[in-house]
Amino acid sequence: MANNIDNSAIYPYEPSLLICDRFTEPYGYHVYRTKGTPNWLLTFTLSGEGRYAYGEHSFPCRTGDVVLVRPHTPHDYRTPEGSVWTFVWAHFIPPPSWAEWLGLPERLPGHLYAHIEDDETAKRMQAAFDRVLLDSRQMAPYWHDLCLASLQELLLLAVRSQTAPETGRLDPRVGEVLRLLSERMKEPLRIEELAEQVFLSPSRLSHLFKQQTGQSVMDTLQRMRLRQAARLLAYTSRPAANVAEDVGFQDYSNFNKRFVAFYGASPSAYRKQEQQRLAAQAEPADAAFSAEEAYGE
């Protein structure tokens, strides 16, 4: 029976990553702590199966399962017979601002649970945890802040997987198309090319994509382009014609037409109103600076 956390230790109360690691444990591995620990425990199962228990009740955790255990909740988890459990784990104290991200569904008292179905999200979470492990071991400058930032990403992805099915529980092929749209936004993409990338016919991709996201592939691409254009207009001084090219519009008149339809204002009018809004939000001492001076490139 394992108990590798000293319950008598004095833990800091400021936001902190206390300890983390990656374990591969065969049958016989068992952690039991009657009073838990005075911090949060997070596990993310990479392969195999583990099992959490609370009194007479228990539940399995398999590949893609995230479990968060509240402070002072009894710990009783193990590798069941016939399995080898590979998982990453961390004990941490979150800042108050993370409270809403610690509200996953409760599987057992004090045990919060999420299953990550989307392969891209699971890969991203594993990569984030790899960064936690790397930074905590190297302890280079700002390592602790970087660890907390990666933990924050993990929690946000877990919460998103539960609260936004349209982005968190996608068919892997739809997820791959969304990734391609984001990475290749500037290119003149065609549905036929995207369908070939995910081994679907154009009609099947179109149907599946709209079924899962509520939008067509090309509408989604256009929204990505227009939203990025809006950010560039608000926060940089790049000419609107350059912004249009930056996001993939080859014809400025077409960009202008679609921007007006989406935002209800021309690119120049939108830039003016956003920069006025940003200037109004600035501190009084900075009021003399325009938004273009503050954010321009």
| 180 and 161 both lie in a single domain | no
Look at residue 292 in the predicted model and tell me its pLDDT: 47
Same domain, 118 and 240: no
pLDDT at 287: 43
Q: How far is CA 276 from CA 229, 273, 283, in A?
A: 18, 5, 13
User: Does 83 map to a domain?
Assistant: yes
Q: Return the SS3 of 24.
A: strand
Same domain, 30 and 137: yes
* Whether 88 contacts 131, CB under 8 Å: no
Residue 287 within a domain: yes
Domain count, the chain: 3
Cα–Cα distances (Å) from 46 to 30, 41, 167, 195, 260, in that order, read: 18, 16, 21, 29, 46
pLDDT per residue of the chain (297 residues) written in tens, 0 to 9: 455 544 433 344 578 888 999 999 999 999 999 999 999 999 999 999 999 999 999 999 999 999 999 999 999 999 999 999 999 999 999 998 898 888 889 999 999 999 998 888 899 999 999 999 999 999 999 999 999 999 999 999 999 888 654 444 678 888 889 889 998 999 999 999 999 999 999 999 999 999 988 899 999 999 999 999 998 898 888 899 999 999 999 999 999 999 999 999 999 999 999 888 878 876 554 544 444 444 444
Q: Which of 214, 238, 271 is the last residue of a domain?
A: 214
CATH (domain of 176): 1.10.10.60
Instruction: Supply the pLDDT for residue 80.
Output: 95
Query: How far, in Å, CA of 250 to CA of 225, rounded?
Result: 12
Q: Within a domain: residue 174?
A: yes
Q: For position 106, what pLDDT does the model report?
A: 94
100 and 232 fall within a common domain:
no
CA distance 140 to 138: 5
The predicted pLDDT at position 13 comes to 59
* Domain hosting residue 295, numbered range: 219-297
Q: Is residue 246 part of a domain?
A: yes
Does residue 34 lie within any of the structural domains? yes
User: The domain that contains 69 carries what CATH number?
Assistant: 2.60.120.280
Tell me, yes or no, whether 8 lies in a domain: no
